[in-house]
């Protein structure tokens, strides 16, 4: 897998999208029932592939990530070729801005950031802080 498998609860909430995914991949409802019952490893692989599609879609449409810790807050803008950061150090009361090229694909790097505690945001904080610069 490229990303992380979505949970069974998330899969249930995305039932329509999953059915569409199965149809696009030539799997009819009766085939899916048979695969789940008789080929659990194949069923797992199909769910893994769907999970990657879901994550890829989410990450491609995401532009901003935030990570707020006790003393430091990070606000990221995920551009096409590079990522911009506004860092707020609450203890020292200073602000730092920087940009860097992605070391992996944009989506993979963003996914790793989410695993490390970043959350997808609307970018409001980044935009407001950027205007102050």
Pair of tokens at residue 65: 């990530």
Residue 94 reports pLDDT greater than 90: no
Residue 104 reports pLDDT greater than 90: yes
pLDDT of 67 reads 98
CATH architecture of 63-132: Single Sheet (2.20)
pLDDT tens digits along 36-85: 999 999 999 999 999 999 999 999 999 999 999 999 999 999 999 999 99
CB atoms within 10 A of CB 54: 19
| Mean pLDDT, the chain, whole residue set | 95
Residue 132 reports pLDDT greater than 90: no
pLDDT of 133 reads 62
User: What backbone phi and psi angles, to 5 degrees, belong to 100?
Assistant: -150, 155
Q: Which residues pair with 75 in a beta bridge?
A: 66, 86
Q: Where are the domains of the chain?
A: 8-60, 63-132
Rounded mean pLDDT, 95-109: 95
pTM of the model: 0.86
Q: Which residues pair with 89 in a beta bridge?
A: 72, 94
Give me Rg for the CA atoms of the chain.
19
Q: What is the DSSP letter of 4?
A: -
């Amino acid at each position: 897998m490229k990303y992380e498998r979505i949970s069974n609860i998330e899969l249930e909430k995305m039932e329509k999208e999953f059915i569409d995914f199965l149809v696009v991949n030539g799997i009819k409802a009766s085939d899916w029932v048979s695969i789940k019952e008789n080929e659990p490893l194949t069923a797992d692989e199909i769910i893994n592939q769907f999970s990657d599609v879901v994550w890829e879609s989410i990450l491609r449409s995401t532009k901003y990530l935030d990570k707020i810790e006790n003393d430091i807050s990070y606000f990221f803008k995920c551009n096409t070729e590079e990522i911009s950061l506004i860092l707020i150090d609450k203890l020292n009361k200073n602000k730092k801005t920087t940009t860097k090229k992605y070391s992996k694909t944009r989506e993979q790097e963003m996914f790793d950031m989410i695993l490390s505690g970043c959350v997808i945001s609307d970018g409001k904080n980044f935009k407001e802080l950027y205007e102050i610069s």
